[in-house]
Structure 1
Amino acid sequence: MTAHDAIDMSTSAPVGAGRRTDRAPIPDDKEMLRAAVELTRDIATARPEIYWPDMLASAAIGYGALAGAILLDNPWAAAASGVVAALALYRALLFIHELTHIHRDALPGFRFAWNLLVGIPVLIPSFMYEGVHTLHHARTRYGTIEDPEYLPLALMKPWSLPWFILVSLLLPPALLLRSAVLVPLGAVIPPLRRLVWERFSSLSINPAFRRRPPEGDFARMVFWQELGAALWALTLLASTIWLGWRPLAIALVVVAGTAVLNQIRTLVAHLWENEGETMTVTAQYLDSVNVPPPALLTPFWAPVGLRYHATHHLLPSVPYHALGEAHRRLAAHLGAQSTFERASYPGLFPLVARLARSTMRGG
């Protein structure tokens, strides 16, 4: 959810990339691309017996733990419950990434159920990612000014990285403001409606991105999701009259925790070293990151298959539960010295350190 990630957190993203002109274009590794297709044909189908229990259990654990964080008197127990809530809801929220890639008929009812149970309650309905994330995977858009999910972070100033993380704390109040105030006002003020849609309706980090108006069936889906999110946001604000601000404040803190987790994951999802040029598929793969086993903490900060983010860029239609097997097959077939292995890294902290060193050199 890349997110992250906020009401277009790109509006606060750092800008001012430096120049890096010492890189020759990377040609496509045709053997790797061919193997990626041929070795994964039999595992490219989304399995409902995995998707449904995973999403439902994550949501149930998240909301149960959130209730504990609100209701428990012991502050340590409440804090621990809040951490569990943030981790579980983070996993549940990241199914929004799967919704952008699976075929619309692959999992009947899954999109509706996810929006009803997760997207609308957290004020991140699926339209905020659908139709946006696919642009990030477009062959001629990745890493360019037209990519909503790309910034050359490795070429920016060193202070850009902590700012990139801290700005995600604005996600919960931003989402609440968007759905409870801006969307209802936009219903009667067309210029505001256009502004909200263009700038504050996508999970993007590129401040130059402007979203095009929705059309057809997608526009109808947006209408109902916006209506549901607006009614829920107004209900949350109204609840403070009877319950006070404490329950809502705790919920906002938990959502902020999921936002920070997603922003950290986004920070190391790519190397962020492209300066805006069109890249080959292999170059896009090498600018992306895999953190395969034995890294133990990766399932917590990169769940739902996102530890195999580079492999996902090779095979965007392969469902999350098959990415591990796809990665193992390709690694075994192509070998330890292959282009494929060059996108694998040992863990979160080495990636953050690499990115920080790059900003110190290039920024």
Structure 2
Amino acid sequence: MSAPNEGMRLARQAYDLTSDLMAASRTVYWIDLLATAAVTYASFAMAVRAESGLATAAWALLCLLALYRGISFIHEITHLRPDDVPGFRLGWNLLIGVPALTPSLMYEGVHNLHHAKTRYGTANDPEYLPLSHYPPAKILIFILVPLLAPLGVALRFGIIAPLTFVSPKVRVWATRKVSALTINPAFARTDVDQSKRLDWRAQELACWAWSWGLAGGTMAGWIPLRVIGLAAAIFAGMTFINQLRTVVAHAWLNESEPMSFEEQFLDSVNVPPPALLPLLWAPVGLRYHALHHLLPRLPYHNLGKAHARLAGALPASYRSVEQKSLTSGLMALLQRSRSAMARRADTARAMGR
């Protein structure tokens, strides 16, 4: 294992080279959010009104990509301080979080644990699994599970949320087990008292009211089933694309052993230019995932500038974490998986002799 100070030295070098890029631009954040929300709702309206299947599909795809970009701001919110972009968290919840039944409470207090030096890659990391040691079939299941996301958010806020207001036991359970966007099924939140905060309850109440409003409007015939089905399909597609991005965001090599800072960086992935498609499947700076782990406070709109500086100034190890595309990242994961399965088979044969 590499010495801990080596990774910290890399982070210090990176910070020294990019310290002028650490301030979040309030203008960029707000214009991006407002434009993204406008495109999301306008394209959804056009998809609903479209008279041909092809037109519906085209508008729905645009809506999916815009919604995905909008949802991705939840990651930025977890790293922004309250005075960085005042009101942005509230604005995002009103425009995107609550209407998509994915409020910020589902990520705040959770994602920061993924960056904790003693948690990354361990069983206590909410966003890590040793996927490179999984068989390909299990990886495929992992990728497909998010297609059930529309049902999951409907249950969380349409059924479980109201129960949390009448049963303290349900509230504790819901906070621990179904109030976090994670990929580690064993993870449970320990910050149960967070659910007593006024803003947490306001988000839950808003999502509860919105989900019941949609259900009531549909049952009353005010909202056509086609509209609900289209919205669910777009949401499922969005979560599926995000899961594809997730499986190439890391190398997923660790099996719960503590890792040095440099090892954590080397286990993460950048998909930098000249690739263009990452703008769609890894929006809001998510294409620079390894750089984000190196400098978590760097705002998304400056990640490209920072990468350009660091690529030529840091040791070769900085460029070693790059993938050329989503496809190359997926192929690399499957290759690691097959290698792990082969090693496991060799071990089993050796033990059987």
TM-score surpassing 0.5? Answer: yes
In structure 2, the partner of 1:327 is 307
The letter for the 2-side match of 1:44 is M
In structure 2, the partner of 1:247 is 227
Tell which structure's C-alpha radius of gyration is larger: 2
Distance 1:218 1:90, change over 3 A: farther
The worse-fitting range, judged by mean Cα deviation, of 24-33 and 297-306 is: 24-33
In structure 2, the partner of 1:215 is 193
Given that 1:32 and 1:339 are in contact with CA atoms closer than 8 Å, whether structure 2 keeps it comes out as no
Which structure has more helix as a fraction of its residues?
2
Deviations 1:128-179 (A, max 9, x none): 0010000000111100111000000001111122111110001011101110
**Unmatched 5+ residue regions in structure 2?**
342-353
Given that 2:14 and 2:314 are in contact with CA atoms closer than 8 Å, whether structure 1 keeps it comes out as no
In structure 1, the partner of 2:118 is 140
**Unmatched 5+ residue regions in structure 1?**
1-23
Aligned with residue 235 of structure 1, among 213, 229, 234: 213
Aligned with residue 266 of structure 2, among 259, 280, 286: 286
Alignment of 1:266-345 (within 5 A): 266-334=246-314, 338-345=316-323
The worse-fitting range, judged by mean Cα deviation, of 265-274 and 177-186 is: 177-186
SS at match of 2:79: coil
1:214 Cα deviation after fit: 4.0
1:30 Cα deviation after fit: 4.9
The letter for the 1-side match of 2:229 is A
In structure 1, the partner of 2:78 is 100
SS at match of 2:287: coil
TM value normalised by structure 2: 0.93
In structure 2, the partner of 1:190 is 168
Deviations 1:23-64 (A, max 9, x none): x45653454222111111111000011111111111110111
In structure 1, the partner of 2:127 is 149
Q: Distance in 2 between matches of 1:196 and 1:152?
A: 26
Q: Distance in 1 between matches of 2:152 and 2:80?
A: 29
In structure 2, the partner of 1:14 is none
1:332 Cα deviation after fit: 1.5
**Identical pairs, percent:** 45
Deviations 1:94-137 (A, max 9, x none): 00000000111111111100000000000000010010000000
Q: Distance in 1 between matches of 2:106 and 2:296?
A: 19
Distance 1:214 1:222, change over 3 A: farther
Given that 1:26 and 1:283 are in contact with CA atoms closer than 8 Å, whether structure 2 keeps it comes out as no
SS at match of 1:39: helix
The worse-fitting range, judged by mean Cα deviation, of 255-264 and 208-217 is: 208-217
SS at match of 1:147: coil
Deviations 1:245-267 (A, max 9, x none): 21111101111111011111111
Aligned with residue 44 of structure 2, among 52, 66, 72: 66
In structure 2, the partner of 1:17 is none
Given that 1:290 and 1:344 are in contact with CA atoms closer than 8 Å, whether structure 2 keeps it comes out as yes
Distance 1:190 1:76, change over 3 A: same
- What is the aligned length? 338
Distance 1:215 1:89, change over 3 A: same
